[in-house]
Amino acid sequence: MLQNREGQKVPQTTFRTRQDHEWVDVSTDEIFRGRTVVVFALPGAFTPTCSSTHVPRYNQLTPAFRQHGIDEVICVSVNDAFVMNEWRKEQKAYNVTFLPDGNGDFSRAMGMLVPKDDLGFGERSWRYSMLVKDGVIEKMFIEADVPGDPFEVSDADSMLSYIAPDAVKPLDVTVFSREGCPYCVRAKGLLHDAGIRFEELVLNRDFTEATIRAVSGASTVPQVFINGDRIGDSESLEAWLAGQTRNAA
């Protein structure tokens, strides 16, 4: 039976972390005392849902969490410190702190350690998230106790909506570009000046001309996409940004 521990203190545990090639023990008090912390726990490093969705979105939204009083966002998994460190590097999730619960002590004390013998995992953490203030759990989002690995409520967006319902979430922006393209440089400069973070995909390195035709219907770059919508080239982006400014006025 999964335990909702809202209103209770987080269990006293020591996490064995690996920092600069040295073992560093980190206590529960060091993490939570006098601080406001978001924790999300998941079944395992490098596993599909954890890597494709759970960690990336928390990493993306961590700046928004910090704007609304969160001191730290922490990922907990029943994996050792070496695995957690390598997973963080692979994910480039440098906004999030990865805590190894190698023996499952924290997950067990939370009432969230579950058998995953059918997958050859042994005991692992159930998927959940929680908001902890000065060591006391204020809110938990626990996935339903059903077979498999449900992922419906412990996501970063649900937690941010609880903490700050009116929070402005970052835009999802991708720029298809080409090396040596002045219009691409202009588009990226416009986004930088507007304070909008983006991912860049470079022609013949990350995609081919066939790909840009398939997704945009055009063969020229730059092509800018925002929240699933094709904005277009640098001039179209400039017009879109101007419209956003007018709407905000």
Indicate which residues carry an active-site annotation.
Answer: 50
Query: Residue 221 in 3-state DSSP?
Result: coil
Residue 175 and residue 224 in contact, taking contact as beta carbons nearer than 8 Å:
yes
67 vs 60, 72, 148, 167, 198, CA distance in Å?
Answer: 13, 11, 35, 9, 19
How far, in whole angstroms, is CA 131 from its chain's centroid? 15
Comparing CA positions, the residue from 66, 54, 41, 39 lying closest to residue 130 is 39
Q: Three-state SS across 19-87?
A: ECCEEEEEEHHHHHCCCEEEEEEECCCCCHHHHHHHHHHHHHHHHHHHHCCCCEEEEEECCCHHHHHHH
Torsion of CA 156, 160, 166, 167, to 10 degrees: -80
Comparing CA positions, the residue from 222, 135, 214 lying closest to residue 177 is 222
Buried b (16+ CB within 10 A) or exposed e, 1-12: eeeebeeeebee
Indicate the pairing of strand 113-115 with strand 72-77: unpaired
CA distance 84 to 101: 9
